[in-house]
């Protein structure tokens, strides 16, 4: 009988586990580090005599991977460990090579908190093909390779010899290139972040350690236990706080962008805070950070769930709070306040290929009317510009800039097409904010009304081959951190001098300002309030408001 093609794998020569480890390490270096080596070869070239350093880095990466595999791939567990490593490396390489992202602990946290719909936007045919060719097929081949059976003492001795040899080679290589390696480690941290699987593995361990760290038990850690609405405040306030998604400040027309992407905001006469820096580069970090009293410098997302946030403080002072969400969720911020999910047609009447942000405004007036007394704060959490499927973030009527990229694999589109799709989504956000302001205007006679919009983070649009967001803050480009923030004040808000506020709007600010700006607008007094972080404080008349 003629042998089946698949059975020919059984004719492969038997290898020792050590030999298989070395082959897998070489395969990972060769196929799973395209982005890493593309950056390395920009730094070191044979033309300037530094090419040997690139070879040294490749050799060092091979030795590190081989030593790591030698530590864990033993006996019957050898093939499963090697197969899992190949699959994970293929997956991380596919994302790093396609989008230029870094797989750090914040990226892992963001992915684990992302819903299925958002995750599906990241999956493309090219990514699946890459994963199949670099992960699935090699794993099947690896599973078919017969291993030599050796007595355990001989296997142990061979493994010890291998590990000592690898460690010795690493020592010799490190010594020979010590000055260059020290310089590389010190000056090129961003390049090191693309070493696969080293940095993703380090990030996974860092994330798991943060999850296993003991957290404070018992009740929530209170903030501003003395908080109260100022006795001088006799008017009702209605504040709509819009948390945007993935918007860049430099793509807002009101901030000087070459395209008029924000005509409705311009017409509404909003004040744009044009120099705002985000807490982080991911939704999972930035959204809870915005509502935390800690500020970006001291914020820890894994501890935030045990502490009161801004909404808890507002609720405790008697403010009516409501969170409407058309994104993945509130990232834990709205766990103790009323929450409505607008990602399904059950609550959102404006759904086609996906549910639209504008649907959160339908019926919003009736929700406001259900609060007969007290101040009202409504949070609208947008889908906004969530990538990479920017073309899905806006209705067809808002395709103002074309041709727009209609592929989730951004690498298959020109950069102009990617930007066109992104700007169309910005234009839809402008329309959404314009409609929100219109609703607030209709409430001017009953409330002091205001809209405060801020995006959670920015986005990379192909600059330097990098797309999306989530890079470590230390190496993130400005496009991922410089976010838009705008304020609209109703005609009944007489205590704030708009001209003075406009003059200060260009000063540097950040997500840290949102917490105290909301307290200031609602005239909430507490010892924890920081006037220096309230964007409105210097433009607010002291005659109309007693400052704490």
Mean pLDDT of the chain: 91
Q: Are residues 130 and 240 in the same domain?
A: no
The per-residue pLDDT for range 122-173, each reduced to its tens digit, is 788 888 888 999 999 999 999 999 988 888 899 999 999 999 999 999 999 9
Q: Dihedral of CA 121/478/209/159: which sign?
A: positive
Rounded Cα distance between 301 and 68, Å, is: 30
Q: Are 440 and 467 in contact (CB under 8 A)?
A: no
Q: Which of 150, 179, 212 is the last residue of a domain?
A: 212
Q: Are residues 487 and 381 in the same domain?
A: yes
The per-residue pLDDT for range 196-251, each reduced to its tens digit, is 999 999 889 888 887 775 555 567 899 999 999 999 998 999 999 999 999 999 99
Please tell me the predicted confidence (pLDDT) of residue 214. Answer: 54
Q: Are residues 278 and 203 in the same domain?
A: no
Please tell me the predicted confidence (pLDDT) of residue 5. Answer: 45
Rounded Cα distance between 236 and 368, Å, is: 12
Residues 6+ apart with CB under 8 A from 440: 238, 240, 449, 450, 451, 488, 490
Beta bridge partners of 351: 355
Q: Are residues 384 and 503 in the same domain?
A: yes
Torsion, Cα 19 23 24 28, to 10 degrees, reads: 150
- Collapsing DSSP to helix, strand or coil, 323 comes out as strand
Q: Are residues 242 and 164 in the same domain?
A: no
Structure tokens at 228: 């109260």
Look up the pTM and report it: 0.84
| Ordered DSSP codes for 366-408 | HHHHT--SS-EEEEEE--TT-SS-GGGSS-GGG--SSSPP--S
Cβ atoms < 10 Å from Cβ of 15: 15
Please tell me the predicted confidence (pLDDT) of residue 179. Answer: 86
Q: Are residues 243 and 138 in the same domain?
A: no
Residue 220 maps to a domain: no
Residues 6+ apart with CB under 8 A from 85: 24, 28, 69, 197
| Ordered DSSP codes for 448-471 | EEEEEEEES---EESGGG-EES--
Q: Are 306 and 221 in contact (CB under 8 A)?
A: yes
The per-residue pLDDT for range 425-470, each reduced to its tens digit, is 999 999 999 999 999 999 999 999 999 999 999 999 999 889 999 9
Q: Are residues 187 and 237 in the same domain?
A: no
Q: Which of 212, 247, 265 is the last residue of a domain?
A: 212
Q: Could you give the number of structural domains in the chain?
A: 2
Owning domain of residue 138: 5-212
Q: Which of 165, 183, 212 is the last residue of a domain?
A: 212
Position 355 pLDDT exceeds 90: yes
Greater model confidence, 296 or 116: 296
Residue 388: cis peptide before it, omega within 30 degrees of 0: yes
Position 478 pLDDT exceeds 90: yes
CATH of the domain at 297: 3.40.720.10
Position 9 pLDDT exceeds 60: no
Please tell me the predicted confidence (pLDDT) of residue 283. Answer: 94
Please tell me the predicted confidence (pLDDT) of residue 3. Answer: 46
Cα angle 362, 367, 369; round to 5? 120
């Amino acid at each position: 009988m003629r042998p089946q093609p698949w059975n020919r794998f059984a004719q492969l020569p038997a290898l020792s586990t050590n030999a298989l480890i070395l082959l897998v390490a070489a395969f990972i270096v060769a196929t799973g580090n395209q982005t890493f080596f593309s950056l390395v070869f920009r730094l070191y070239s044979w033309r300037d005599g530094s090419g040997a350093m690139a070879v040294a880095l490749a050799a060092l990466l091979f030795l590190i991977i081989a030593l790591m595999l030698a530590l864990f791939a033993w006996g019957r567990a050898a093939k499963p460990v090697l197969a899992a490593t190949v699959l994970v490396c293929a997956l991380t390489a596919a994302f790093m090579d396609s989008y230029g992202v870094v797989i750090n602990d914040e990226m892992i946290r963001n992915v684990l908190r992302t819903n299925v719909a958002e995750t599906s936007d990241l999956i493309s045919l090219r990514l699946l093909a890459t994963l199949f060719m670099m992960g699935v097929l090699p794993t099947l081949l690896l599973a078919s390779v017969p291993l030599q059976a050796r007595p355990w003492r001989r296997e142990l001795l061979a493994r010890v010899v291998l590990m000592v040899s690898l460690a010795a080679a690493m020592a010799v290589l490190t010594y020979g290139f010590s000055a260059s390696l020290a310089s590389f480690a010190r000056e090129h941290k961003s390049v090191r972040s693309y070493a696969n699987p080293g940095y993703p593995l380090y990030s996974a361990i860092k994330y798991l350690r943060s999850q296993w760290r003991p957290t404070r038990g018992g009740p929530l850690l209170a903030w501003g236990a003395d908080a109260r609405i100022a006795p001088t405040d006799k008017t009702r306030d209605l504040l709509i706080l819009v948390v945007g998604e993935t918007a860049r400040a430099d793509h807002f027309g009101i901030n000087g962008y070459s395209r008029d992407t924000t005509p409705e905001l311009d017409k509404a006469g909003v004040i744009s805070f044009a120099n705002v820096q985000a807490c982080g580069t991911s939704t999972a970090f930035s959204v809870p950070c915005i509502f935390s009293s800690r500020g970006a410098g001291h914020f820890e997302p894994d501890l935030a769930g045990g502490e009161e946030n801004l909404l808890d403080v507002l609720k405790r002072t008697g403010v009516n709070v409501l969170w409407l969400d058309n994104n993945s969720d509130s990232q834990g911020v709205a766990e103790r306040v009323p929450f409505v999910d607008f990602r399904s047609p059950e609550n959102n009447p404006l759904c086609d290929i996906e549910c639209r942000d504008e649907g959160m405004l339908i019926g919003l007036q009736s929700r406001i009317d259900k609060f007969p007394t007290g101040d009202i704060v409504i949070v609208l959490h947008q889908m906004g510009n969530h990538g990479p499927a920017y073309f899905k973030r806006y209705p067809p009527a808002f395709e103002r800039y074309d041709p727009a990229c209609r592929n989730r694999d951004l690498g298959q589109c020109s950069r102009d097409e990617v930007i066109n799709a992104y700007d169309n989504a910005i234009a839809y956000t402008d329309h959404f904010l314009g409609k929100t302001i219109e609703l607030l205007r209709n409430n001017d006679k009953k409330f002091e009304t205001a809209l405060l919009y801020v995006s959670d983070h920015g986005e990379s649009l192909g600059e330097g081959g990098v797309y999306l967001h989530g890079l470590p803050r230390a190496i993130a480009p400005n496009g991922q951190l410089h976010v838009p923030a705008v304020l609209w004040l109703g005609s009944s808000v007489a205590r704030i001098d708009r001209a003075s506020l406009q003059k200060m709007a260009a000063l540097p600010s950040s997500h840290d300002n949102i917490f105290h700006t909301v307290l200031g607008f609602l005239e909430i007094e507490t010892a924890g309030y920081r006037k220096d972080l309230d964007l409105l404080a210097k433009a607010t008349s002291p005659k109309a408001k007693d400052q704490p």
